[in-house]
A = this chain, B = another copy of it.
Amino acid sequence: MALQAATSFLPSALSARKEGSVKDSASFLGVRLAADGLKLDTTALGLRTVRVSRSADIRAQTAAVSSPSVTPASPSGKKTLRKGTAVITGASSGLGLATAKALAETGKWHVIMACRDFLKASRAAKAAGMDKDSFTVVHLDLASLDSVRQFVRNVRQLEMPIDVVVCNAAVYQPTAKEPSYTADGFEMSVGVNHLGHFLLARELLSDLQSSDYPSKRLIIVGSITGNTNTLAGNVPPKANLGDLRGLAGGLNGVGSSVMIDGGEFDGAKAYKDSKVCNMLTMQEFHRRYHEETGVTFASLYPGCIATTGLFREHIPLFRLLFPPFQKYITKGYVSEEEAGKRLAQVVSDPSLTKSGVYWSWNKNSASFENQLSEEASDADKAKKLWEISEKLVGLA
């Protein structure tokens, strides 16, 4: 009876392999359930009390059952920090993968690789030599709000705390003549890079808030090209959100524009605009939630990782010439590995807990607080962006 009670109140994952569940007895016992139910609930009360005092152990146990390869470290005394959990979007390649690897190698982190191609992510983690207990792949397609919502439910089923969320995934369509759209009808670059992440971050904020980890962070990867106070940001086309009229119109190209400012479609500008949105969103999160929750909100530019798949849709000549151009002419080139280490720093370094910061690194690989452009610092625009985005993703 105790075991049965335990089963009925533990997450459904524990019953995943049982044929015939408590559900069966519930429907067939009818009134008799009432009497047994009382006993069940009384027993469950005891179980619940135990769970309160030994929550970490129960959590580890549950996790071990629901996902055999996941065994988060249990704390062995007050002074030992438990293994942290970091959700990283777009972790199947480039910066996301390098970061996942850097964190996993420390042995102090479990990485949830949130990727739209499950097989690719599984292979990438294996190829990167990540220990199988250090990561869990969970499907996430930021081009669908339904997928974001499913991801959130799915992650919660893992019964792991969520300590850090890294919004890293991005698409870039520099040569597209016509826009493409997400499942919900938004232009792809802004739909994936901003709106999908906006919903994800909003949903997971409550999980971050309830985590017992000492340093909880929400990190949104930025890009220097969104900042028009730099040389890179002045390469045409320049980012410009205007008055957000296109965004307010839904970015669906039906009766309105697919660009945030209402202008004509430009794939590169759509990407840069989405990055400005990311940086505005980070700051708005900071203003609204940092004091209230203690969560640190940050953005960063790790450097130009010219070798990633972000440029896969560019012409081959660009992909050939861009790395040496960045390496020898602009000196802005950084390897994927180094970029991953930098992002991992922002995830875990105790000295980088200041919130509301846009981090960058100098030539000696030392981090510093960089300045955002005027538009990317515009608090009114950030507020407006937030409110329109809430409506678009169904939060308002």
A residues neighboring B (CB under 8 Å): 12-13, 16-21, 23-27, 30, 33-34, 37-38, 41-42, 44-45, 48-49, 51-52, 55, 66-69, 116-119, 122-123, 126, 136-139, 141, 143-144, 146-147, 149-150, 152-154, 156-157, 182-183, 203, 205-206, 209-210, 394
Q: How would you classify the secondary structure of chain A's contact residues: helix, strand, loop or mixed? A: helix
Query: Shortest CB–CB separation between residue A200 and chain B, in angstroms?
Result: 12
Complex Cα gap A12–B48 (Å): 16
Contact of A146 among B17, B67, B117, B203 (CB under 8 A): B67
Query: Shortest CB–CB separation between residue A289 and chain B, in angstroms?
Result: 10
A152 touches B34 (CB 8 A): no
Q: How many copies does the complex hold?
A: 2
A136 CB contacts on chain B under 8 angstroms = 146
Excluding A12-B156, A17-B203, 17 further A-B contacts by CB distance (< 8 Å) are A16-B203, A19-B209, A20-B210, A24-B210, A27-B55, A41-B42, A67-B149, A69-B146, A118-B143, A118-B147, A119-B141, A119-B182, A136-B146, A137-B146, A138-B150, A139-B139, A154-B157
A183 CB contacts on chain B under 8 angstroms = 118-119, 122-123, 126
Smallest CB-CB A-B distances: 10 pairs = A122-B183, A41-B41, A118-B141, A139-B139, A19-B206, A119-B143, A118-B147, A37-B45, A118-B144, A27-B52
- Can you name 8 A-B residue pairings with CB atoms under 8 Å? A12-B153, A20-B210, A33-B49, A37-B48, A41-B41, A41-B45, A119-B182, A137-B147
A51 CB contacts on chain B under 8 angstroms = 26
Complex Cα gap A19–B141 (Å): 23
A138 CB contacts on chain B under 8 angstroms = 150
A153 touches B154 (CB 8 A): yes
Complex Cα gap A48–B35 (Å): 12
A122 CB contacts on chain B under 8 angstroms = 144, 146, 183
**Minimal Cβ-Cβ distance residue in B for A17:** B203
Complex Cα gap A123–B123 (Å): 27
Complex Cα gap A146–B12 (Å): 16
A12 CB contacts on chain B under 8 angstroms = 153, 156-157
A118 touches B118 (CB 8 A): no
A45 touches B34 (CB 8 A): yes
A144 touches B119 (CB 8 A): yes
Contact of A154 among B33, B143, B150 (CB under 8 A): B150
A48 CB contacts on chain B under 8 angstroms = 26, 33, 37
A146 CB contacts on chain B under 8 angstroms = 67, 69, 118, 122, 136-137
Complex Cα gap A16–B154 (Å): 11
Query: Shortest CB–CB separation between residue A288 and chain B, in angstroms?
Result: 12
Complex Cα gap A68–B146 (Å): 9
Query: Shortest CB–CB separation between residue A180 and chain B, in angstroms?
Result: 10
Contact of A49 among B37, B49, B116, B394 (CB under 8 A): B37
